[in-house]
Structure 1
Amino acid sequence: MLSFYLIWSLSYFALLGYLSRFGKSHKIDFSSIHSFSPLVTLVIPFRNEKGNIPNLLVNLKKLQYPNLEVLLIDDHSEDDSSEILIEENLPGISILCSPALGKKGAIEFGVQQAKGNIIICSDADCNFGERWIEGMIQPFSNPIIQLVAGPVLVQNEGGFLGEFQLLDWASIVLTTSYSFTRNNPLMCSGANLAYRKEAFEQVQGYEGNRHLSSGDDEFLLKKIYKTYGADSCAYSTSPQVLVCTKPEPTWRALIQQRVRWASKWKAHSSFIHSSSAIAALLTQVLWLGSFYLLAFGFKGMLVFGGIWLIKVCAEIYSLGKVLKSFSRVPDISAVLRVSLLHPFYVLRVALGALRGKFTWKGRENCRSVNLEPEI
């Protein structure tokens, strides 16, 4: 038992060290980019985002891309989100109400209405840079590319919960970057995603998974990957295309969000995706199992302390490398606490996903909602 965990911890360190090679960012030199400015449609679905509308408008106003259409799609908000947007009456921005219920229905409606050949998606609570659009569309100058995913991190608003989410998102960026580099993408975020309208239509959008409340990003990625091949999907690690989303305000909200994301695991037909999810869970179970070492007396306590020190060092190194590439400085004390808490958090999310019950945007599991778009 003691030898197993020593080997396990060293293997974990080696694995994260290897993965960290794929977490480096690469800056875009816009001055060297050849002219490529197709008509782009930015589609942002929203629901009950009254508090985020002012910041969203600030972000939209600072975008410099000249050939841009913006469609804000209301997913049947129950607050004054649409009214506030309509009162602003900003040129180039259209506010539409989705005829279907659910985020996927709103996006499909937005894509149907879009005039642009390239669709870019984000969320209403996100921040993006003034040259975000230009950076995200550059890979499309290669006609082979059908989908481009970009990095997402949470805004650093302080506090342990915020630090926890920042490090959690850094691990997502690391895993995503690695999977794209290996030409077998596992995930992406709908908060920073671009694709050709023609490709979306070719794979029939969310046909086959509209009934699921999440997966507007991953299912589309899988369908485009399967239809067009590994070379059709790209991941940009440039800081200029980084999108920052608001952290969840409470632990309960965070758990609900992650349960919603994880609850679609049964719907994935990919063996690699399913096995990767199971491997990630088993990894955390092994770390939790290490507490049994304490039953071996003083020697067991030494091994327990040693392997957790190795775990913390591995995560400081790998996740810190990701954050530094986006000009974020990790809080070492926060990494220590996150490292200790993370296995319990993953197990809690996994159990919630198995139950399949969660609340999102005021909708209880979306079971009472007909998610089939009436388009």
Structure 2
Amino acid sequence: MYTIIMKIRLMCFIFLFTFSFFLSSEDFENNFLGGYLDFEKLFLNMNGDYGVTFFPFLERSYGGRDLGLSGAFTGVADDVSTIEANPAGTSTLQNTELFFSHSKLYGDINYNALAYTMRFNELGFGMAVRMAYLPFTHYDMLGFESGSGIISYTIINFNGSYNFLRTYERFGLSLGTNIKLYIYGVPDTIIANQSSVNIAFDFGLLTRFNFLKFHKTIQKNFSVGLVVQNIGPFTENEPPPTSINLGFGYRPIKKLLITSDLHYMINYSEFTYQNWNYRAGVEVHVTDYFSFLGGVSIKSSPSASIGINLEFDQFRLTAVYNPDLVDLAQFSISGSIKFGDMGRAKRQKKIDDLYTNVLVLINESMYSEAELILNEILSMSPNYTPAKRTINMVLKHTELYKRIRQVIDESEQIFD
């Protein structure tokens, strides 16, 4: 038995020696180890049948409600996850938020995200960092361990957006962009000169309006988003996962949100065999603070997601499980700390109270006093359309009153 084992080992050694004789060490690393370490192939189907693309984590959700709705968030874009789902959403967020999430993917792969968004009236900003860690051990030609380390995928995101044409009644049109710096890190202890750095861009738009609304709130109940995602240069002839995403969000009643997304992956390669990806999700509020999340993603390997969301005035907690049996299953827990709205709600309440006083003054025919307050309102909020309409009416009444007063004075002079 011992002799047989020795013969097998000797044959393996001769084979490896002969193989290395015909291939230089450089060829061996480029052809054999290069293919062995091609982790993009391992994660090729991480989000669908996207063919040969580089850095598929660019398409990965941050976690939170976005993941709970199976990525059908392009048209929703109402929390910090909008940085990835739709860059136009940051100019519409109610609060300044600090977001963090931890996701456990396949095997020993950990995926973490940290994001921050803030809004100055119609201008929104955001910054985010995402990292995935892949423990890996390198073996030489003879099968002996020659090095180990952690391969990392890092994405640094800078966001900016602006909401145009917003008025008191109209949501307007929000436009936004992301600048992404993505870094593929391979330690030299595994293999040298494999790390890379590149850049990608996102462009998005978002609008909201009322449609088949069966509840009374000031917020619009239907939203539409369009995003072109991950446009950028190739990395050693491998493209980023560029896609065009169209999404809708519909809230027929206050406690129900229905979402739908259609994603089209740009085909850079002949190996891409499915470009379309349909996603749908639903959020059901059991109470004002607690809701269930669910979603599906339709592709060659369909997946689903389930989760819960706890929403409070100062923070949000979300837990989601994505039981994907073909791609990478994911369990994610995330939280957001809300730092307030920078005084926007307080300022809006003051404007509404002033406008109420205006209506009282008009009812008492005190048009001059009403005009002064209306001008104050418009100086605070130039797009407050109720004040715009009312001041035009007040000016007409004031002018009419002056004419009547003039006619009366002239009549008195005639009779005198």
TM-score range, shorter chain: under 0.3
**Which one scores higher on RCO, CA 8 angstroms, separation ≥ 6?**
1
Q: Could you tell me the TM-score, scaled by structure 2's length?
A: 0.22
State the structure with more CA Rg.
2
- Which structure has the highest strand share of the two? 2
Q: Could you tell me the TM-score, scaled by structure 1's length?
A: 0.24
